[in-house]
Amino acid sequence: MHLETIAGVLAAALITSWGFPAAAADDPVKGCTPDGGFTFTDPTGDDDGPGTYTYPTDAVYKPGSFDITEFQVVPRGDEVEFRVTVKSRIEDPWDSPAWGGNGFSIQMVFIHIDTDHKKDSGVRDGLPGTNVRFAADEAWDRVVIISPQGATRVNSEVDAKCPQWKDRIIVPRVTRASGRTLYAVVDTKQLGGHPTPAWGYQVLMQSNEGFPAKTDLLTRKVNEYEGQHRFGGGTDYDNDPQVMDIIVPPGGDPVKKQHEILSKYNKAATTVVKPEDLAVVPMVYPCAK
Amino acid sequence: MARIAGGGVVAVAVGMALAPAARADTSNFEMSGKIYTKYMYQNDATQGCLSMSNPFWVDNIGGHNGACTEFELNIKAHVGPKVEAGVRLQSRWGAMWQDWWENGDLKPGVADTSGESLGMNHAQYIKLRGAWIRAAPPIPTVRWVTVGSTDYSMWNEWTIGKARYIDRDNGSGVFFEGELLPRKRLSYTTGAMALPKLWAGPGWQTGLSGNDPLARLYGTDWAFALKLESRVSDELRLRFIGATLRDWEPDRYSPMLTGAPDAARGADHSVALATRFRGYNGTLDAVYSPAALDFLTVSAMLAGSSNFVNPDYATNMVRNGQGFSPVVFKLGSNGTPVSSNGLAGKVLVELADPLQVGLSLKLEYFNIGSEYNAVMGARREADVLLTDGIIAGGFTRGGQLPTLNVANEFQDWDEPWYESCIGWKGATAVAEWVRGVLRVTGEFTYIGYNTNMQGRDVRNQYPNFLYTNGFTDTTAFTADSDYANVYDRGKDPRSVYAENQDRRTFLVVATAQYAIPGFRGATINLKGKHVNDRDNRILANPNDDYEGKSWLGMISLSNQLTNELRTFAGFEYTHWSEANREGSEQEGFHDSRTVRQTARAGFTYAYGGALFSYMLEYFHKDLLRQPYYFDMKWNVWRSKASLEVSW
């Protein structure tokens, strides 16, 4: 209680002096700029995929580690900085510098970008291991991978597991973590141009798996029951969406919406899973008019 | 193979009724393999593929020149939704390619003129390194029961620490996890673990008569631990961890061991156990993240330890082992053994970019008691303090751990080093500024020492690890003989006690990383560090004061030349100026200066699932001690290459 009191006083002082709002506004989109920048708020407590997923039991998976709270796109000249903030402080329990990593260990984020919003343009399949799809008119054209693994490892996994999308997959020039935020800096050239307010995004929160299954792009599996290093609450097959948190279009209850989206997969498809059996995740066009 | 994961085995092991024995479904049966090959070169007279091996026993695998290969096979089975099992099979590390034929058939006492055998360390036998079974039984509150191998990662560095990577399956135990209150309001983990006979106790063992004539039983020794966690609210998490270590020996006065099994003597064919070592460690920690201030995180921890050594069964290594001991042999005022007790605490306040300008702050206060000691705490590969610490250099990273049992052996020259932080009290402030491709950090740390004391008994009670003076040169540790500090590489990283100490340290660290525009993934890394370490030693003697000043500068450039190829090159300059570094109170102390230049270059290349890496290093070091001692210099070339393939 003592700690809580101290922190409460500190919080009050900071709010007073810096004028921070006590609660977030309802509209999740803020600060749309003509160069495609924006801030998108995602609710807390929805790091459970379709509502049933649970964290692995190992102590490194701290509560809130996979709970997206904010997604930002910050254009800066010929670069774009992507920021994904989670509810918990980002740590490096596996000492990523020892394996050429980027200063964090357990998170892994895929930022899918739809640059043209045209039907049958882009890729509908999710990256290997995510077990999701996109709608025909919301297919992704680029995907930015924020991984604790060094670029060499990520690129070699891409070469081995999805070489057909190699030109669309972007391993950032800079990937780092600070506080609760993951940062990725990407050249606009890699994105195919400067961002515009019309671009759409989908942020999939996964977990870095250094020893992935043969078909997974460094992603951690979701099983029926959680394991020391496996998520639980899904199935033991590759039909369930293997993402813990996503962003959803504004309007309505975002948590309920996420649960509904990620629950819509074919539970009867077990050993043979077709693309149409997978959950379809939406693109979000935060600043599109 | 499915027999490995038989549910019936689980039922016997955990003593509960489960479904009839199941066989692993093929689709749920996972196998993965890995081949790891390492090549090492150094211009010295050693051979092997491990820079530093066992510091005490000669185990004939440590050395710098050689090529070695190991194979690992992991098998994991989802026997059913509620039962899974796994094993790890791995070949013994140590055989060099040059060994040609080796069957481990070492013949003690027979001159081996053909080099036929160097023993099992070179025989590459496949060993069962780990086996575990995990089940979710229908027991109220119990979520999982795990039986078998463990890395102890469920506890923390202050109690029972996560085992180092090479030891990740060497521990074994039985563990229960579950929830007492729903929605994570109160969850628990409890377990009983076999106490590792090799390192977890006085004399780095728990009852090996060959090493400690007073002890001979280790099969009865266990550690027990309990963790309670509560998500009081979305904003506040609490965690308690308590652990006890129990090292028992047969009661040396038991009638069954001291004479004839005569009932009249009290002999009844039972032998009582007596305590050789008993340890308690506990922590209570909290993390507070207010929703209204999502940039703020406050973490606080309190810890306590109590370690008791019974000298009737444990040889006093402070007195008889030149001060090398992972425990204090504490005596009460009347000369009888008593517990060595200590408290520790720390508070960390983190402000993650509160002004939305890319500037984050971390402030940590720490106060670790002079006798806090986590005998089974993390020995390396963890870091409990925010500070860069004293031991970390430029290329060589490091960390701090609250134990005398720090382990800087069984590692290569490019791996991090760890130092004991027992007795440290002070504060660290770290500022980080991030903007686009630029990241800059600055640190200031002040360290006072709870271990400061005049006339401390380092002959009988407090281990000083013999070498208490000077900056530790982690670069110059070598496999052949300098683990014993023949070539003066400074203070032992485990040394926290000195006979006379009045010490304080402050350090300043600055780092920067900048991704060069226009170059694909080219990043410049800079680091500067200054350490000012002062120890007045005997307060009444103004001529024995030690003052060490260390300056370090490092620059490196890494570049992702292609998707598969990353290169690296860098240079580090170190200068230590140390007043009154070497000598003794009786003979006086003398100054020394160290200048070291290190250059490194290397690359990693990934191709089709194979990962190759190579690193070349040259360092030149001058240790200038004249006119009191002779000077020394190092001209060392060394390299390390590895090829890794997993499938």
- Nearest residue of chain A to residue B568 (CA atoms): A100
Angstrom distances, CA of residue A16 to CA of A10, B291, B360, B363, B579 = 10, 16, 20, 22, 51
Number of other CB atoms surrounding residue B638 within 10 Å: 22
- Nearest residue of chain A to residue B562 (CA atoms): A152
**Helical ranges in B225-282 per DSSP H:** 255-258
Assess if residue A16 is contained within a domain.
no
In contact, A179 and B349? CB cutoff 8 Å: no
CB contact under 8 A, B237 and A57: no
In contact, A93 and A120? CB cutoff 8 Å: no
pLDDT at residue A20 tops 80 = no
- Nearest residue of chain B to residue A183 (CA atoms): B436
CB contact under 8 A, A152 and B297: no
CB contact under 8 A, A156 and B564: yes
Write the ipTM. Answer: 0.84
CB contact under 8 A, A95 and B437: no
A152 — contact with chain B (CB < 8 Å)? yes
Assess if residue A1 is contained within a domain.
no
When divided into structural domains, chain A yields a total of 1
Cβ-based neighbours of B279, under 8 Å, separated by 6 or more: B243, B244, B245, B305, B306, B307, B308, B375, B376
Collapsed DSSP state (helix, strand, coil) of residue A153: helix
Residues of chain B neighbouring A271 (CB-CB closer than 8 A): 27
- Give me the CATH number covering residue A91: 2.60.40.1190
CB contact under 8 A, A60 and B184: no
Residues of chain B neighbouring A89 (CB-CB closer than 8 A): 289, 297, 350, 352
Assess if residue A15 is contained within a domain.
no
Cβ-based neighbours of B451, under 8 Å, separated by 6 or more: B370, B422, B423, B496, B497, B498, B501, B503
In contact, B5 and B83? CB cutoff 8 Å: yes
Euclidean distance between CA atoms B468 and B450, whole angstroms: 16
Residue B484 parent element (H or E): none
Q: Domain limits at A157?
A: 25-281
Euclidean distance between CA atoms B4 and B37, whole angstroms: 29
Assess if residue A287 is contained within a domain.
no
Collapsed DSSP state (helix, strand, coil) of residue A81: strand
Question: B13 phi and psi, to 5 degrees?
Answer: -65, -40
Residues of chain A neighbouring B523 (CB-CB closer than 8 A): 174
Do β-strands A169-170 and A142-146 pair in parallel, antiparallel, or remain unpaired? parallel
CB contact under 8 A, B563 and A159: yes
Number of other CB atoms surrounding residue B110 within 10 Å: 9
- Residue A269: what pLDDT? 92
Assess if residue B559 is contained within a domain.
yes
A25 — contact with chain B (CB < 8 Å)? no
Task: Quickly state the pLDDT bin for B394 (edges 50, 70, 90).
Answer: very high
Task: Quickly state the pLDDT bin for B25 (edges 50, 70, 90).
Answer: very low
Euclidean distance between CA atoms A206 and A42, whole angstroms: 16
CB contact under 8 A, B520 and A3: no
- Residue B212: what pLDDT? 87
Which of B291, B350, B354 is opposite residue A89, by nearest beta carbon?
B350
A176 — contact with chain B (CB < 8 Å)? yes
pLDDT tens digit string along B417-453? 999 999 999 999 999 999 889 999 999 999 999 999 9
pLDDT tens digit string along A207-253? 999 888 888 999 999 998 888 899 999 998 899 999 999 999 999 99
Angstrom distances, CA of residue A203 to CA of A69, A108, B295 = 11, 10, 21
In contact, B554 and B568? CB cutoff 8 Å: no
Which of A57, A89, A271 is opposite residue B27, by nearest beta carbon?
A271
pLDDT tens digit string along B60-83? 888 889 999 999 999 999 888 789
Which of A14, A15, A225 is opposite residue B81, by nearest beta carbon?
A225
Residues of chain A neighbouring B138 (CB-CB closer than 8 A): none
**What distance in Å separates residue A279's CA from the closest CA in chain B?**
22
**What distance in Å separates residue A180's CA from the closest CA in chain B?**
7
Assess if residue A48 is contained within a domain.
yes
% helix, strand, coil for chain A, step of 5: 20, 25, 55
**What distance in Å separates residue A1's CA from the closest CA in chain B?**
10
Assess if residue A46 is contained within a domain.
yes
CB contact under 8 A, A176 and B565: no
Q: What's the burial of B537, exposed, middle or buried (CB within 10 Å: 0-12/13-18/19+)?
A: buried
Collapsed DSSP state (helix, strand, coil) of residue B224: strand
Task: Quickly state the pLDDT bin for B58 (edges 50, 70, 90).
Answer: low
- The mean pLDDT value for B592-597 works out to 96
A272 — contact with chain B (CB < 8 Å)? no
Assess if residue A97 is contained within a domain.
yes
Question: Which one-letter DSSP state was computed for residue B52?
Answer: B
Euclidean distance between CA atoms B203 and B213, whole angstroms: 11
CB contact under 8 A, B360 and A224: no
pLDDT at residue B479 tops 90 = no
CB contact under 8 A, B234 and A60: no
Assess if residue B373 is contained within a domain.
no
- Residue B16: what pLDDT? 35
Task: Quickly state the pLDDT bin for B486 (edges 50, 70, 90).
Answer: confident
* Beta-bridge partner residues of B571: B555, B599
Assess if residue B306 is contained within a domain.
no
Residues of chain A neighbouring B177 (CB-CB closer than 8 A): 57
A253 — contact with chain B (CB < 8 Å)? no
CB contact under 8 A, A159 and B237: no
Assess if residue B524 is contained within a domain.
yes
When divided into structural domains, chain B yields a total of 1
Number of other CB atoms surrounding residue B111 within 10 Å: 6
Assess if residue A8 is contained within a domain.
no
CB contact under 8 A, B296 and A156: no
Angle at B141 between CA B138 and CA B146, to 5 degrees: 70
CB contact under 8 A, A156 and B606: yes
Q: What's the burial of A27, exposed, middle or buried (CB within 10 Å: 0-12/13-18/19+)?
A: exposed
pTM value is 0.90
B234 Cα distance to chain centroid: 33
A163 — contact with chain B (CB < 8 Å)? no
Residue pointed to by tokens 């000598």: B583
Residues of chain B neighbouring A176 (CB-CB closer than 8 A): 434, 439, 513
Angstrom distances, CA of residue A14 to CA of A10, B153, B286, B448 = 6, 37, 21, 31
Structure tokens at B141: 């509150």
Residue pointed to by tokens 């997923």: A53
CB contact under 8 A, B352 and A57: no
- Residue B483: what pLDDT? 62
Structure tokens at A238: 């590759």
Assess if residue B318 is contained within a domain.
no
pLDDT tens digit string along B549-594? 999 999 999 999 998 899 999 999 999 999 999 888 888 999 999 9
Residues of chain B neighbouring A7 (CB-CB closer than 8 A): 288, 290, 296, 298
Going along B28-95, which residue ranges are E strands?
29-42, 66-80, 83-91
Q: Domain limits at B580?
A: 516-647
In contact, B395 and B34? CB cutoff 8 Å: no
